[in-house]
Chains A and B, each alone.
Chain A
Amino acid sequence: MRKNIVLITFLSIYCLVTLAPFYLLVVRSFTPTIESTQFHLLIPERRPLSMNARIGDLATIYNVNLREFRREMGISGYMNPQLTLTQIAETYDNVTQEDIRTWLEPLVHYNGIYAILNNGFLTSLFGTIFVTGVSVIVGGLLGIMTGSVLAGFRSRWHLFVYNSYLLNMIIPPMMVILPQYLIMTRVLGLGDSYWSVILLHIKGGALSTMVFTSYIATIPKELREAVQMDGGKHYHYFLYVLLPLMGTPFAVFASITMPWFWNDLLHPLVLLSPEKYTLPAFIASIGGTFTTNFEAIFTGVLFSLMPILIVYLVFQKLFIRSAMAGAVKG
């Protein structure tokens, strides 16, 4: 009993320490950029929008879209970015201070969220889901197929194939980025296409071969022979016996490679145009050229973590369940 209490206390502390960065990330996501040099344990109180702020500064610091601002306020033609908000209300007859405040205040108060949403977070999110999903599923399927062939045999040539897959994993991706770019754009004609990134992910995820080969090797060969005796072809074995058993290794493979694919910054940055950036590249690009909107960056990181966290929690069940139980004598 005593031992349990010590264990529970220890684990709780461990949990808190592990979760602390996530908490700080949440706090950071709602901390205005102007206070980003200070350490906050709680989300700080927002100062009200100052009417003495220059509209140009707001545009650079808070990613406010000036064209949209003018359209909303009914301002046609050139607007001096040096004007303060009070001056704008004075200069243009049809604009009141109240109008400006109601339009700008939420934008400034929830700047992180607005900044990423207005700059294409959703497009980028769907792009990332597409790239990661296809990479994991196609990579996994290829791994299962390769593994099912490699697992049964132990000849020299199979080992050669197996090792060449693994060799691929020790080449630093940075070293081959230029040749890869040239092959993708010039040879395959996949410039600015999600498929170029997907192909590279599948290649980089050669880990799947290792995971599936070693797992399939543990499946008793009698199962294949039973299918053979029962009149099934190899594809029957693959579909009815092998695939349903791949839950556990697939969970292992997906949980290792999905964060790689999801968080990949280098390949999308090199191979895609800004409109197609996946999340990490997108977040890096909303940072700004002259100023850095930290609030938007942290919110972007936080929001890009959410989907993968959900997927992780779902996959966790698969780890615990032993899919093989009962196939042979237990």
Chain B
Amino acid sequence: MSEVLVEKVYKKYGLTEVLHGIDLEIPKGQLTVLLGPSGCGKSTLLRMIAGLEDISGGTIRIAGRKVNDIDPSNRGCAMVFQNYALYPHQTVRKNLAFPLKMAGVPKSEIERQVQATAAVLHIDMLLDRLPRDLSGGQRQRVAMGRAMIRNPDVFLFDEPLSNLDAELRVKMRLEISRLQADLNATVVFVTHDQVEAMTLAHRIVVMRDGHIEQAGTPLEVYNAPQTKFVAGFLGSPAMNFLPVGDVSQDGGQSKVTLTDGTILVSPILVPQATRTIGIRPQALSAGRHADQIQIDLKQANELGVEHLGDRAFRYVSAPFGELSLLVEEPAGAGSQSDLAMSVHAKDMQFFDADDRAVEAAG
């Protein structure tokens, strides 16, 4: 059952159209992540669901009710802002109580709920402090508490972790995950950080330039990207793209000629329409392996090695662009002969001239 239903939603600022007909279902009790590069319209979409932006066309339904013309506060949404937006001169207690006070809840009830919410978030000892005396993580919790206290149908998170340092970000990520599960809450989470998206989400919606590129579970999106953009956006380092010049099929095999003249012989049929082959760095191994497809680049130069301790990424420059591959530690600087690579046939992904994924036959 979908909690939020977005149907053919457009957004225009003057003559500029920033969202081009978004259709999206956000399931109840799940955490949906809107993922995309900055400027792709993901925050705008979130703000339209919240009611902070007008809807230029289309409808948004929350819990089955059309909310296009309903005030933000009556939509049953609560929002956690990127910069927390705590009321600076009010104590944590008053910050938490503010939504209830606006709703006209009696004082004793407010106090009880503030205590309960604070206890869930472990901020009960901070209630009489001002936001400026709190650390980043504590402010984040207060902001979440202020959203939780109204018991909303939908939680909206607008890049809430981007102001925290790396360690705290991991901690808060787990915290949000735990809270979401405990409350069985419907959450829409906007981020441009793909690690955050992969780890948090039940469903990822990848957006680009005001379109939805793909929606699905994290593993679906990662393993079976429907477009070249999605393939390149998820995963770090990014997927390697080999531009294809020509594909010829011969019996059960395919011969693929890359634009620089390198020839790949594939035991599976590569679709004729393929213009790009995508290979994740993790799937690409150095050296020649008999059971794999060999990639002997005609001209390539070693760019450098990035050591991560347990493994390393080697970067290689080829005439059509950079390639990266995972190598075992200890990884010394490679020699020219090391620039041969191999890949399992099943780890290749094929994209046509429109950058859409094409299935390998057989």
Residues of A at under 8 Å CB distance from B?
220, 222-223, 225-232, 236, 240-241, 244-245, 323-330
Contact = CB atoms under 8 A, between A and B. Distances in A.
Contacts of A229: 50, 52, 72-73, 77-79
Nearest to A230: B99
A330 B72 CA distance: 28
Across the A-B interface, give the 7 residue pairs with the lowest CB-CB distance, nearest first: A326-B132, A327-B88, A231-B73, A222-B85, A328-B83, A231-B102, A326-B131
A330 B78 CA distance: 23
B132 A230 contact: no
A326 B130 contact: yes
Contacts of B73: 228-232
A323 B136 CA distance: 18
A222 B89 contact: no
B89 A245 contact: yes
B52 A225 contact: yes
Most buried by A among B73, B133, B146: B73
B90 to A, nearest CB: 8
Given A230-B98, A232-B102, A329-B136, A323 B88 contact: yes
A250 B102 CA distance: 27
B103 interface: yes
B87 A240 contact: yes
Interface string B245-269: 0000000000000000000000000
7 contacts: A220-B83, A222-B85, A228-B73, A230-B146, A231-B102, A231-B150, A245-B88
Contact of B81 (A222, A232, A244, A325): A222
Contact of A328 (B79, B84, B89, B103): B84
A234 to B, nearest CB: 12
Interface of B: 50-52, 71-74, 77-79, 81-90, 98-99, 102-103, 130-134, 136, 139, 146, 150, 163
B86 A326 contact: yes
A240 B86 CA distance: 12
A244 B130 CA distance: 14
Contacts of A240: 87, 90, 98
A327 B131 contact: yes
B316 to A, nearest CB: 39
A225 B77 CA distance: 12
Contacts of B163: 329
Contacts of A245: 88-89
B83 A329 contact: yes
Nearest to B87: A241
A230 B74 CA distance: 9
Given A229-B77, A231-B150, 11 more contacts: A226-B87, A229-B50, A230-B73, A230-B150, A231-B102, A231-B103, A324-B88, A326-B131, A327-B87, A328-B84, A329-B83
A226 B88 contact: no
Contacts of A325: 88, 132
A222 B163 CA distance: 15
A160 to B, nearest CB: 20
Given A222-B83, A240-B98, A326-B134, A228 B88 contact: no
Contact of B52 (A228, A230, A231, A324): A228
B52 A223 contact: no
Nearest to A324: B88
Contact of B132 (A226, A241, A330): A330
Contacts of B72: 225, 228-229
Most buried by A among B71, B79, B81, B88: B88
A326 B134 CA distance: 8
A230 B134 contact: no
A231 B103 CA distance: 7
Most buried by B among A229, A240, A323, A326: A229
B85 A226 contact: yes
Contact of A220 (B51, B85, B90): B85
A273 to B, nearest CB: 45
Contacts of B52: 225, 228-229
A252 to B, nearest CB: 18
Contacts of A330: 132
B89 A323 contact: yes
A222 B146 CA distance: 14
